[in-house]
Structures are given as C-alpha cells and as structure tokens.
C-alpha cells in the first residue's frame, strides 16, 4: 500500500513561498520567482512545445513517477515521485515557459511531503532529470 500524499497544492511559481525545511529543490529561470531558487534554469534553443514533448517522454520512462495533475493551458504538470525502498512520496511540479518562438525554459520544484531531511534526494532528482532532458534536447529529440 502506497503512503498517501494528502492534497497536492497548486504551485504558482511567481508567488511561491518556500518553507525553511531543506528537503526541497527549486530550479527556475531568472525573474520567474520572488523566492530564492537553488539553481537557474537554462534556456534551450527549441520551441516550448519541443521541450514539453521531450519532458513527457522522460517522465513516462521514470520509475515510481505518477502524474497527478496537468494544467495544459499553463504547461504545468504535477507528479508524485516515490522512493525506491519505502515508497515515501515527494511532490514535483514542472512548468514550461516560452522565451521566444525558438527558445524556451522550464521550472521544476521538487519537495518532500514528510520529514525535514531528504539527504539531497530532491536536488539529485532535479539535476538528474535536467541532465537527461538536456541530452534529449541536444540530440534533437
């Protein structure tokens, strides 16, 4: 039986207020958030639709990642990512943003539902996904 997540809040990156807990990681483009980000998102030389499609392929192949909500008009998606051993849930919100017709970026907010420490799991997850995503975009997928 999976550990329940409880309600999944809708994230507005522009007004996001982070908790003081270290079990979260925020990747966002400059100027999107008023809160402190952990890393700035790269800008990709692809239309936003290409970024979104590449992400969907990566997310579909990710073990223990469950889609929860899709706000298609906003290009924003929520997922539950579960730990391998005990199935603890983390919430992940991803949003795709057009910068120009042929340039786009994304924001990713990954955070633990329970506990205070995540031993860097959210940071590693976002960085691993960003590396896979960057490779996919670079290879023209």
The pLDDT tens digits along the chain (141 residues) read: 678 888 999 999 999 999 999 999 999 999 999 999 999 999 999 999 999 999 999 999 999 999 999 999 999 999 999 988 888 999 999 999 999 999 999 999 999 999 888 888 999 999 999 998 888 776 665
Ramachandran sector of residue 87 (left: φ over 0; alpha: ψ -120 to 50; beta: rest): left
On whether the CB atoms of residues 12 and 30 are closer than 8 A, the answer is no
Cα first-last separation, the chain: 36
For the chain, domains (ranges, CATH) are: 24-138 (3.30.530.20)
* Distance between CA atoms of residues 118 and 79, nearest Å: 17
User: Whole-structure pTM over 0.85, yes or no?
Assistant: yes
């Amino acid at each position: 039986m999976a550990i329940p997540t409880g309600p999944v809040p809708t994230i507005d990156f522009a007004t996001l207020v982070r908790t003081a807990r270290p079990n979260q990681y925020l990747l966002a483009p400059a100027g999107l958030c008023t809160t402190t980000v952990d890393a700035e998102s790269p800008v990709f030389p692809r239309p936003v639709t290409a970024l979104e499609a590449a992400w969907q392929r990566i997310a579909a192949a990710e073990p223990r990642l469950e889609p929860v909500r899709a706000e298609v008009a906003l290009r924003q998606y929520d997922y539950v990512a579960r730990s391998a051993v005990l199935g603890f849930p983390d919430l992940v919100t991803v949003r795709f943003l057009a910068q120009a017709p042929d340039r786009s970026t994304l924001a990713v907010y990954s955070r633990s539902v329970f506990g205070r420490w995540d031993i860097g799991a959210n940071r590693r997850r976002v960085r691993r996904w960003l590396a896979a995503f960057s490779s996919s975009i670079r290879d023209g997928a």
